[in-house]
Structure 1
Amino acid sequence: MADDKSKRDFRDRDRVSANDDYEVEYFVQKVGLTSQQVRELIRKHGNARETLERVAKALKSG
């Protein structure tokens, strides 16, 4: 089921949905990883945007 774009609040911005291609692609462009890598990070670490950004930064630098 797709997100209801009319209902936006802080909760939607805190998460990255692996089921929504546009959210994955936005995150891919932001952190410089592949969509497969982003989906794997979501699977391993959950979908909290702050956590994913921290892990992605560590992955790119390490």
Structure 2
Amino acid sequence: MCESGDNYRENTGNGFYGAYQFSQQTWTSLGYPGRPDLEPPAMQDAAARKLQAESGWGQWPACSAALGLT
């Protein structure tokens, strides 16, 4: 909700995509195909869980700080 307003199709042209505002490089490095905003919500959710498990909440600094996670 914090990153994109829960919009899985979010693409504002800033180089970050989907509900969790993945960069294309991060998305691809996690092993996912295509572009995040064009992939199904379940895939975006799985990618976010994987990224958080591998790298922590710091991947989403503004949101994690606002939620008291960092």
With structure 2 as the length reference, what TM-score do the two structures score?
0.31
With structure 1 as the length reference, what TM-score do the two structures score?
0.33
Q: RCO greater where, 1 or 2, for CA within 8 Å and sep 6 or more?
A: 1
* Structure number with higher helix proportion: 1
* Structure number with higher strand proportion: 2
